[in-house]
């Protein structure tokens, strides 16, 4: 009973945090758990009524639905929320199309849509598993339809009809899964082009600002510290003028690599401007951000760059304050960067 209370309290709290992505996943899980509990309760009542009134076909459909609910709960236990939602919906289709269309039509219609829909919402292995499960459910649907006498076909044509349905299902599934491979690769490529700077292979300005907005919302909501670093390569114009833009590109690439290797996995880095980088440090107060900035500055100062030799960077650090918005946070980091430049470069200001 206490577990049930905790579940409902967790669900009600979702109305306050639903916009924050990691918690949105938790909310979907809580909502589905409550939905399954209600569905189980209704389904058990209907199974009991089916036993009392000897409604054999309805009993089979409801037992099948209970089986789907059990699978959904198992998936939720392993945090497969999206797959659980899909399984729950397939269970609903298996139940209600059997009622609405009097049996066999759902075999030919809904279950042929399963691999199509799965391909758009899941990875290739998951879509293949879902399609395989749906294939066996299709067999079960035909057996139910046979038992109920809902298939009005001559006996000699029935085998051909079932065989043709299976072949068409397999053909659709294989075609969709092949298409899924190409579609996934296409979207990955497009997303990478949209999110990453092609030269330095870190986030571009649009993406890093989008990530900063998410971290800002999370920090404000849960009152966690958030700091950023603005990093600018000293005398970069001189590098381009002296050695050419190709050498300048190599310097940018190596600086980006040093920054990435100097921060945690949860930290984020993006190319903010020409030779300027923005680093987001979630859960990090200003003192911690300054330590990270000093580490980056020293590593770049000690690095031997091809042709150029040694270069330096200036860093401005800022921590999110109570009345900050994103613009004011970036503005303060920019001001500190300008201070670092003005006071001699190759230093961190905060």
Q: Are 234 and 290 spatial neighbours (Cβ–Cβ below 8 Å)?
A: no
322 is catalytic: no
Cβ-count burial of 28 within 10 angstroms (0-12 exposed, 13-18 middle, 19+ buried)? middle
Q: In the structure encoding, which two tokens stand for residue 306, read together? A: 């091809």
Mode of pairing for the β-strands spanning 313-319 and 348-349: parallel
What are the distances in angstroms from CA 329 to CA 6, 150, 182, 225, 272? 38, 68, 41, 13, 14
Alpha-helix residue ranges (DSSP H) falling in 231-325: 236-243, 245-261, 286-302
Cβ-count burial of 148 within 10 angstroms (0-12 exposed, 13-18 middle, 19+ buried)? middle
Neighbours of 304 (CB within 10 A): 9
Q: Are 28 and 85 spatial neighbours (Cβ–Cβ below 8 Å)?
A: yes
Q: Identify the active-site residue in 138, 275, 276, 319.
A: 275
Angle, in degrees to the nearest 10, between helices 245-261 and 236-243:
140
Half-sphere exposure of 275 (CA within 13 A, CB side): 22
Distance, CA of 170 to chain centre: 29
Ordered strands of the 348-349 beta sheet: 268-271, 276-282, 226-233, 313-319, 348-349
Residues with a catalytic annotation lie at 275
């Amino acid at each position: 009973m206490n577990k049930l209370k905790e579940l409902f309290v967790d669900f009600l709290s979702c109305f306050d945090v639903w916009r924050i992505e990691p918690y949105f996943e938790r909310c979907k899980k809580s909502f589905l758990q409550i939905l399954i509990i209600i569905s189980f309760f209704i389904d058990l009542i209907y199974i009991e009524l089916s036993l009392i009134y000897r409604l054999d076909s309805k009993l089979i459909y409801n037992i099948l639905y209970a089986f789907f609910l059990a699978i959904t709960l198992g998936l939720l236990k392993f945090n497969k929320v999206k797959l659980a939602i899909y399984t729950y919906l397939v269970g609903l289709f298996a139940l209600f199309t059997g009622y609405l269309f009097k049996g066999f039509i759902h075999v030919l219609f809904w279950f042929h849509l399963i691999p199509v829909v799965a391909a758009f919402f899941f990875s290739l292995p998951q879509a293949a598993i879902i399609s395989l499960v749906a294939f066996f459910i299709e067999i079960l649907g035909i057996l139910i339809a046979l038992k109920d006498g809902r298939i009005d076909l001559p006996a000699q044509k029935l085998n051909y009809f079932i065989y043709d349905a299976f072949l068409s299902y397999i053909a659709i599934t294989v075609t969709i899964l092949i298409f899924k491979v190409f579609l996934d690769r296409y979207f990955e490529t497009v997303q990478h082009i949209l999110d990453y700077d092609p030269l330095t292979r870190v986030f571009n300005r649009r993406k890093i600002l989008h990530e900063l907005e998410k971290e800002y919302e999370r920090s404000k909501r849960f009152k966690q510290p958030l700091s950023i670093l603005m990093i600018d390569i000293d005398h970069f114009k001189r590098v381009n003028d002296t050695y050419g833009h190709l050498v300048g590109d190599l310097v940018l690439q190596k600086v980006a690599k040093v920054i990435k290797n100097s921060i945690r996995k949860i930290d984020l880095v993006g190319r903010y401007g020409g030779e300027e980088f923005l680093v987001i440090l979630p859960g990090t107060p200003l003192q911690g951000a300054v330590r990270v900035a000093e580490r980056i500055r020293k590593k770049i100062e000690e690095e031997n760059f091809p042709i150029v030799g040694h270069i330096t960077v200036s860093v401005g650090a800022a921590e999110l304050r109570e009345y900050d918005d994103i613009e004011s946070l970036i503005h303060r980091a920019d001001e500190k960067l300008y201070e670092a430049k003005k006071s001699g470069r190759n230093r961190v200001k905060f």
